[in-house]
Amino acid sequence: MVDIPHPVVVLDLDDTLYLERDFARSGFAAVGRHLEESHGLTGYAEHCARLLDEGHRGTVFDAALAAMGLAAIEVAPLVALYRGHAPEIALAEDAGRLLDRLGARASAIITDGPAQTQGNKVAALGLLDRIGKVILTGLLPEGCGKPHAMAYEMVEQWSGRPAGDHVYIADNAAKDFVTPRARGWTTVQILRERRIHACTAPTPGHAAHHVVVSLDELRLA
pLDDT tens by residue, 122-150: 999 999 989 999 999 999 999 999 999 99
The reported pLDDT for the residue numbered 199 is: 74
- Give per-residue pLDDT as tens, 153-174: 999 999 999 999 999 999 999 9
- Give per-residue pLDDT as tens, 174-203: 999 999 999 999 999 999 988 887 778 899
CA separation for the pair 28, 20 (Å, rounded): 12
- Give per-residue pLDDT as tens, 31-74: 999 999 988 888 999 999 999 888 887 789 988 888 888 878 89
CA distances (Å), origin 182, targets 125, 160, 164, 186: 30, 19, 10, 10
Q: Largest Cα–Cα distance in the chain?
A: 57
The reported pLDDT for the residue numbered 207 is: 97
The one-letter code for the residue type at 194 is R
CA separation for the pair 185, 23 (Å, rounded): 29
pTM over 0.85? The answer is: yes
- Give per-residue pLDDT as tens, 79-125: 999 999 999 999 999 999 999 999 866 799 999 999 999 999 999 99
| DSSP class per residue in 69-101 | T-TTS-SHHHHHHHHHS-------HHHHHHHHH
For 150: left if phi > 0, alpha if psi spans -120 to 50, otherwise beta; the answer is alpha
- What's the order of all strands across the beta sheet hosting 107-111? 133-136, 107-111, 8-11, 166-170, 186-190, 210-212
User: Does residue 198 or residue 7 have the better pLDDT?
Assistant: 7
| DSSP H/E element including 27 | helix 20-39
The reported pLDDT for the residue numbered 105 is: 67
